[in-house]
Amino acid sequence: MTKTDDYIPSETEEYMCDKHLKYFKDKLLNWKQEIISNSKLTLENLQEKNSFPDDTDRASNETDRSVELRARDRQRKLISKIDKALKSIEDGEYGFCEETGEPIGLARLEARPTATLSVEAQERHERNEKIYRFK
């Protein structure tokens, strides 16, 4: 696992300089490793064979397993987004909006390192989604 030290990207530095890219790459790799570690625990829990003589206990266990499977699916999708972000770092495209080509911004990337759209483009996307959903 990589370590990000105490470095925090700054607006005073050139946007997506080598320090920024290293910081976000390490952040994404650490996040991915954490998800993988947690998913291994989930998988171990799912593989445990439990027999419950009581129907209520069995139903409760099946509900718990269903919730764990949904969480695991969300984690799988998140890993895919992390991998896409890591590839964009390698391709020199990380940190720039897929729609406008403008910088996404350090604060947004800090909060959501897998972001591919600027705040403005994301808001436009969400407005359009609402419009089309209600038609």
82-95 confidence digits (pLDDT tens) = 999 999 999 999 99
Would residue 116 count as lying in a domain?
Answer: yes
Q: Which domain holds residue 50?
A: 14-94
Position 39 in a domain: yes
| Contact by Cβ (8 Å): 119, 40 | no
Which is nearest to 22 in space by CA: 81, 79, 83, 90?
A: 90
CB atoms closer than 10 angstroms to residue 39: 16
93 DSSP assignment: -
Q: Are residues 31 and 81 in the same domain?
A: yes
First-to-final CA distance of the chain: 47
In this structure, is residue 9 part of a structural domain?
no
Place of tokens 């590839």: 87
Question: How many structural domains does the chain have?
Answer: 2
Same domain (yes/no): 56, 22: yes
Is there a domain that residue 122 lies in?
yes
For residue 28, being part of any structural domain is answered with: yes
pLDDT one-digit tens code per residue, 105-117 = 999 999 999 999 9
pTM, entire model = 0.77
- Give me the residue label for tokens 């105490």: 6
